[in-house]
C-alpha cells in the first residue's frame, strides 16, 4: 500500500514537471513590429534626430492619453445606451450628443498630432522631408514601407 502511494506521487511529480517544461517552450518572446527601425532607416535619421523623435513621440502620447480615454469612455456610454431600455428618441438624442463630443475630441486629437508632426519635421533636412512626404503619399495610396502595414510613425 505504501509503495503504491509513493509510486503514484513520484509519477504525479514527473507529470507536473513535464507539463511545466512543455508550457515553458510555448512561451516564446513576443515579436515586435520593426516599424520604428524601418522608419528610421528609410528617413536616414541621425542618432540625435532619433532621440528628439522619441522624446517628441513620448510627449505626444502623454498629451493624447486623456483625449483617447475620453473617447473610449464615450464609446462605452454609447454601447450602454444602445443596450438600455430607453425609448428610441432618447437613445438617438443621447448617442448623438456623445458622437458630437467624440467629433470635438477627434478634432482636438488631430490638432495635437499636427503640432507634434510639425515639431518632428522641424529637425529634418529638406531631403528627409521629401522622403517623409513620399512615405505619406504612399500611405494614402495604401502602400506601406513596413511589413505590418500600419505605418505608425508618420
The DSSP code sequence of 31-85 is PPP-HHHHHHHHHT--HHHHHHHHHHHHHHHHHHHHHHHHHHHHHHHHHHHHHS-
Q: Which set of grid coordinates corresponds to residue 126?
A: 529638406
What integer pLDDT is reported at residue 84 of this predicted model?
87
pTM of the shown model: 0.68
Q: Which tens digit of pLDDT belongs to each residue from 1-54?
A: 666 665 676 666 676 666 555 554 555 565 666 788 888 888 899 999 999 999
What integer pLDDT is reported at residue 75 of this predicted model?
95
Mean pLDDT within 104-117: 95
| Sign of the CA dihedral running 42, 45, 51, 53 | negative
Q: Is the pLDDT of residue 142 over 90?
A: no
Q: Which set of grid coordinates corresponds to residue 56?
A: 517628441
Residue 35 · residue 144 · CB < 8 Å: no
Q: Which tens digit of pLDDT belongs to each residue from 66-101?
A: 999 999 999 999 999 888 888 888 889 999 999 999
- Return the higher-pLDDT residue of 29 and 141: 141
Mean pLDDT within 132-152: 80
Amino acid at each position: 500500500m505504501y509503495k503504491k502511494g509513493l509510486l503514484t506521487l513520484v509519477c504525479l511529480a514527473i507529470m507536473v514537471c513535464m507539463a511545466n517544461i512543455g508550457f515553458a517552450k510555448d512561451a516564446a518572446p513576443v515579436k515586435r513590429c520593426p516599424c520604428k527601425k524601418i522608419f528610421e532607416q528609410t528617413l536616414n535619421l541621425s542618432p540625435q534626430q532619433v532621440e528628439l523623435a522619441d522624446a517628441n513621440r513620448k510627449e505626444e502620447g502623454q498629451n493624447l492619453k486623456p483625449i483617447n480615454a475620453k473617447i473610449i469612455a464615450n464609446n462605452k456610454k454609447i454601447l450602454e445606451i444602445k443596450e438600455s431600455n430607453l425609448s428610441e428618441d432618447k437613445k438617438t438624442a443621447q448617442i448623438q450628443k456623445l458622437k458630437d463630443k467624440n467629433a470635438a475630441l477627434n478634432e482636438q486629437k488631430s490638432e495635437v498630432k499636427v503640432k507634434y508632426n510639425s515639431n518632428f519635421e522641424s529637425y529634418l533636412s529638406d531631403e528627409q522631408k521629401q522622403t517623409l512626404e513620399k512615405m505619406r503619399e504612399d500611405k494614402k495610396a495604401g502602400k506601406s514601407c513596413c511589413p505590418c502595414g500600419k505605418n505608425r510613425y508618420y
